Homo-oligomer: A and B are copies of this chain.
Amino acid sequence: MRQIHICEVGPRDGLQNAHHLMPTEAKKAWIASMAAAGIEEIEVGSFVPPKLIPAMADTAEIVAFALTIPNIKVVALAPNVKGFERAVASGAHKVTFPVSASRAHSLANVRMTPEQMVEEVRRCVELRSQSRGKNGPEIEAGVSTAFGCTMQGEVPEDDVVRLAVMLAGTGADCVALADTVGYANPAQIRRLFRKVRNEIGDKLEAAHLHNTRGLGLANALAAYEEGVRHFDSSMGGLGGCPFAPGASGNVVTEDLVFMFESMGVPTGVNFDKLLEARKLLVAGVPEEPVYGHTPLAGLPKGFRAAA
């Protein structure tokens, strides 16, 4: 009955940008509680050099734990072939690659041009097809800074479309569009999702939205109305933005669930259990600010979840 597929990215995108480290055991408890609330897909970590991002140093252990939870898809981020190989070794069900449409951001983030990153994804797809002993992970290529970039400013839509087409051509299973820095507006969301879908069809899957300027849910609504059914979000809008105190990070899972459920569109997520999971998030990083309106206001009187 689930019509909306939420991938919770808090353990990766949230904790990676948080100011405090969450202990490994607390991560496990939090991830298990989100799975218990009905979250079907969780991006649990990132295979990046631990020296660069200490918060992700325990990713292999977290993946191993998450694989013991029934009925969830375990996702890990990899920025390159090396990260992909570690992800494959961990047994993650799905690997996601950040491929920035902004040249400046791409060089700063992964020290490669967008075109070099496309080749990196292609090599990983080839590696997967060469390994015959077992099935390799699903591969997602996320076009980051697809709606603008704090370094470059405007990102031409043609650049995004061209990059999405190249990524689809690598043999990656799906492509996502990411508003990495919270620049997107609903008109742009509609336009760009439509353009990319016209080119690569159903390979275009998820919307990864941030709430930096408060438009996260409006953008999610626009994407939904353009046919998007897969959304990344982060519990408590975890992670914030180091450049904007008080400006939350990813679109807030709790509010996203409330929006769709109140519209009568089932997410498969139980809101009360989600609030239980939120308690474990707060317990795991007690000094980190968490956001979200519905957790504070509560559900409306007489509220009924979508059937």
Binding site for B on A (CB under 8 A): 148-154, 181-183, 185-188, 211-215, 217-218, 220-222, 241, 243-248, 252, 255, 258-259, 262-265, 292-294, 296-298, 300-302
Contact = CB atoms under 8 A, between A and B. Distances in A.
A154 B302 contact: yes
Chain A, interface SS category: loop
B213 A258 contact: yes
B218 A297 contact: no
Q: Which 9 residue pairs are nearest across A and B when measured between Cβ atoms?
A: A153-B302, A214-B293, A185-B262, A244-B297, A247-B297, A187-B263, A153-B301, A214-B255, A217-B218
Given A182-B297, A187-B264, A244-B296, A259 B215 contact: yes
Contact of A301 (B149, B188, B263, B300): B149
Contacts of A265: 187
A212 B259 CA distance: 12
Contacts of A153: 300-302
Most buried by B among A151, A258, A301: A301
Most buried by B among A186, A245, A255: A186
A244 B213 contact: no
A222 B222 CA distance: 9
Nearest to A255: B214
Given A153-B300, A213-B294, 17 more contacts: A148-B300, A148-B302, A149-B301, A154-B302, A181-B300, A185-B259, A187-B265, A188-B263, A213-B255, A214-B294, A215-B217, A215-B255, A215-B293, A217-B217, A241-B297, A246-B293, A247-B296
Contacts of A212: 293, 297
A301 B148 contact: yes
Nearest to A299: B213
26 contacts: A149-B301, A152-B301, A185-B262, A186-B259, A186-B263, A187-B262, A188-B262, A211-B293, A212-B293, A213-B258, A213-B294, A213-B300, A214-B217, A214-B259, A214-B292, A214-B293, A214-B294, A215-B258, A215-B262, A215-B293, A218-B218, A218-B221, A221-B222, A241-B297, A244-B296, A247-B296
A214 B254 CA distance: 10
A244 B298 contact: yes
Most buried by B among A214, A221, A296: A214
Contacts of A244: 296-298
A294 B185 CA distance: 12
Contacts of A259: 185-186, 214-215, 218
Contact of A263 (B151, B185, B243): B185
A281 to B, nearest CB: 16
